[in-house]
Chain A
Amino acid sequence: MDSAKVLDAKGLACPMPIVKTKKAMEDINSGEILEVHATDKGAKSDLTAWAKSGGHEIVQNTEEDNVLKFWIKKA
């Protein structure tokens, strides 16, 4: 998938993944995709909730070797 930006949030604990995601989101345009990599197990539900609250869309997410990856399309 074509990401406009990749955020490495691996190793960060709550609430840092969403705080960093919010900041990274400010650097891309509406309709573009931010790719987020995280290891915080809470990130799956947190990023989903965060995206929902801002009207963004998680177009894909994967989990591989304990790394959660999300592709979030900016509203």
Chain B
Amino acid sequence: MANTKVAIIAANGGLFDAYKVFNIASAAAASDAEVGIFFTFEGLNLIHKEGHKSLPLPEGKEHFQEGFKQANVPSIEELVSLAQEMNVKLIACQMTMDVMNLEKDAFVEGIEVGGAATFIEFAKDANMTLTF
């Protein structure tokens, strides 16, 4: 999968959303694809310095917490650092940050900040574009 590019939009901020985004991103990066994720609106939670450590389960699905533990699923913190180790590009949406009054230092180290055009430029020659 070298020479393959995967562009992902993360627009939701729950624990399930985080697993969907980071599992796909890590799998693609482990297969030598170039991966970029654009975090917008509630998706920003997934890279928020504190927020990403305690993402909510959907209402009524709290009992899945146990299942995550039993299946020995890695934590989101672990997946974020793995993704970064594998050079997954993390782009936070500037406009959402402005709306939510968040600065770059509210997020995990090593992210980029950009607007929609930054993502479009990255995604224009992507082989896969995924939205979560």
Contacts and interface: CB of A to CB of B under 8 A. Distances in A.
B23 interface: yes
B1 interface: yes
Contacts of A18: 27, 30-31
Nearest to B30: A22
Given A19-B82, A53-B1, A13 B31 contact: no
Interface string A43-67: 0001000100110000000000000
A54 B26 contact: no
A64 B71 CA distance: 20
Contacts of B2: 54
A4 interface: no
A53 B71 CA distance: 26
Contacts, number: 38
Interface string B40-80: 00000000000000000000000000000001111000000
A42 B130 CA distance: 22
Contacts of B82: 19
A31 interface: no
Interface size class of B (residues with CB under 8 A): 10 to 19
A6 interface: no
A46 B27 CA distance: 9
**Which of B26, B31, B74, B82 has its CB near the most chain A CB atoms (within 10 A)?**
B31
B87 to A, nearest CB: 12
B32 interface: yes
A15 B27 contact: yes
A67 B1 CA distance: 27
Contacts of A15: 23, 26-27, 30
Interface of A: 11-16, 18-19, 21-22, 46, 50, 53-54
